A and B are shown apart, each in its own frame.
Chain A
Amino acid sequence: MIFAEWKPLDELIDKLKIHRKVLLVGCATCVAECAAGGEKEVETLAPLLRMALKKQDHSIEIITATLEKQCEWEFVEQLAQQVAEVDAIMSIACGIGVQALAERFDPVVVYPGVNTSALTIREEAGLWAARCAACGDCILGETFGYCPVARCAKSLLNGPCGGTRKDGKCEVNEEVDCVWNLIVERADERGRLESLSKFKKAKDWSNSSHGGPKRVIREDLRQ
């Protein structure tokens, strides 16, 4: 899922304090899964913002909504009536949702309430970890199901750097597994360590953000 987390409250207050009435909008998809931008978080954040704004003597009304998907126009449209009442929107969806609202409801200002940072899986309760870097050239079939692009701090493609700790963790973060250590272990378990001796040549990054903003046309879907 797309992972996001709340921005610091002070930063949000700083943006909102100049407004009269604000619509706080969540999204029931990825950001709800990572407990940052779903309905529950909207209804938790709204009173916190009201309280903090009041404490600083700003009388600002905050109304709320949560869309099923903030990245789909048909759902975005559902906000039209509420947006007409406000002079600003704060979205706690991912950056895609924020931009959808900004585009549809121009010239109403839209602020992001979260920082979107990664494509993750929930490893266990309250713990998310990166799994995909959207690199545009998937090599999971050669790395035994572990992604070194997303999970190696240096995105190395030919094996681990010299920074694997004694316990198999990454030199950058002692809580994080060295993904190359995992790859080698799994390859070894399957008796296929030799397959990792093959040289992986320099990667073509052009099908990711490095190739310029992504734009895809599927002719079969354009009638």
Chain B
Amino acid sequence: MRMFVGSNLERRLAAGDFAVTAEVGPPRGPDPADVKKKAGILRGVADAYNVTDNQTAVVRMSSIAASKILLQEGLEPVMQIVCRDRNRIAIQSDLLGAWALGIRNVLCLSGDHQSAGAGGKLKGHPGAKNVYDIDSIQLISVVKGLRDGAVQEGGDSISPAAPFFIGAAWTPLGPPEKFRTIRLAKKINAGANFIQTQAVYDIKRFAEAVRRAEDMGLTDRAAILPGIIVPRSAGMLKYMNANVPGIEVPEEMIRRMKNAADPKIEGIEITLELIDAVKNLSGIKGVHLQAIEAEELLPDIIRSAGLLPRPRIY
């Protein structure tokens, strides 16, 4: 396989090792110490760390700045980019800036609609004007253009090229389910090298979706890393099942959490079982772990899953 940027993540996948990525959400304030604290907790437990881009449309420290702080702390970022807030001019400008700062992995996303920020306890900015000049698949092709063609979306050339290892998301169990594999194919055809999925709890249905992707030859062309969000209560699972599109939680798992003496321990147990299950699926190259605002759980989980220490990359 051709090496595009030689990032940790790319080399790990090229070596055929089971990759681990984790998520680092930037703070709602400007203090770099908040990012450094998370970096301190997670250093060495994953191959690369996703830095979210104003997720749920709540204003946070920019993914480009937080990614740079991670780099300074010795962690390799996967800089997430959403299409909600920037047009193709701003996105490409930020991509060039990100490359100049040493950022090599990007994840291309549509992004949560600005109305999402007003859910829960925060006010957000539901009156904001959105951009959506390009969509996530067009974004992938823009990044590919900067990398493979040294050319901007509008046709102007750049020198040198800005090579990135390109990621995309996949929601295999979201409706219309029959289109989700086609959409995955579109992303891979546009240039996606790795895929991080919406959180997986229903292994049986997920495995069927991966099988369909495998039948189309997609799992050989991009590395699929299933997302796993560490469950912390029955209520959380129930909420995600009902309210987060694309997340399917088996009834039995919700019951199991409900009956657990210690839901926190049970959640870790479930996470380990999920990691084990996806590890044994054909066509799966790693795992993307999220412990939302509970990053301290991840090192033990990754260790217990037998994934530590991370192999050294030469």
Interface size on A, residues (CB 8 A): 33
> How far is the CB of B53 from the nearest CB of chain A, in Å?
14
Contact of B176 among A162, A163, A184, A200 (CB under 8 A): A184
Complex CA gap A155/B132 in Å reads: 7
Q: In the complex, which of the residues A162, A180, A199, A201 contacts B171, with contact meaning CB atoms closer than 8 Å?
A: A162
Q: Chain B interface: which size bin?
A: 35 or more
Q: Is there contact, CB below 8 Å, between B175 and A164?
A: yes
Contact of B186 among A159, A165, A181 (CB under 8 A): A159
Instruction: Check B186–A154 contact: CB distance below 8 A.
Output: no
**Contact (Cβ within 8 A) B175 A181:** yes
Closest A residue to B170 by beta carbon equals A162
Q: A154-B110, A162-B110, A171-B245 are in contact. Are A202 and B132 (CB under 8 A)?
A: no
Q: Please tell me if B183 contacts chain A, counting CB pairs below 8 Å.
A: yes
In the complex, whether A196 has a CB less than 8 A from a CB of chain B is yes
Binary B-proximity of A172-201 (CB < 8 A = 1, otherwise 0): 100000101100110010000110110111
A76 within 8 A of B: no
CB interface residues, B 70-88, toward A, < 8 Å:
83-84, 88
Docked-complex contact A164 and B133, CB < 8 angstroms: no
Q: What chain B residues lie within 8 Å of A178 (beta carbons)?
A: 175
Tell me whether chain A's interface is mostly helix, strand or loop, or mixed. Answer: loop
What residues of B have a CB within 8 angstroms of the CB of A166 in the complex?
A: 175, 245
With most chain B CB atoms within 10 A of its CB, the pick from A159, A161, A168 is: A161
Would B115 and A172 count as touching, CB distance under 8 A?
yes
Q: In the bound complex, how far is the Cα of B116 from the Cα of A157, in angstroms?
A: 21
Q: Distance in Å from the Cβ of A38 to the closest Cβ of chain B?
A: 30
A127 shortest CB reach to chain B, Å: 20
Does B222 reach chain A (CB closer than 8 Å)? Answer: no
With known contacts A164-B245, A199-B189, A202-B138, A184–B113 Cβ distance under 8 A:
no
Contact (Cβ within 8 A) B176 A172: no
Find A161's partner among B88, B110, B185 (CB 8 Å cutoff).
Answer: B110
Q: Is A160 within 8 A of B176, CB to CB?
A: yes
Instruction: Report Cα–Cα, A157/B142, bound state, in Å.
Output: 15
A145-169 toward B: CB 8 Å interface, digit per residue (1/0)?
Answer: 0000000011111111111111010
Flag if B178 contacts A164 (CB, 8 Å).
no
Counting from the closest, the 6 A-B pairs by CB-CB distance are A162-B171, A158-B137, A161-B110, A184-B176, A156-B135, A184-B179
A196–B176 Cα distance when bound, in Å, is 13
For chain A, residues 114 to 133, give those with C-beta under 8 angstroms from any C-beta of chain B.
Answer: none
Q: A152's closest neighbor in chain B, by CB?
A: B132
Alpha-carbon gap, A171 to B175, bound state (A): 12
B180-192 near A? 1/0 per residue, CB < 8 Å: 0011011001100
State the Cβ distance, A149 to closest chain B Cβ, in Å. 9
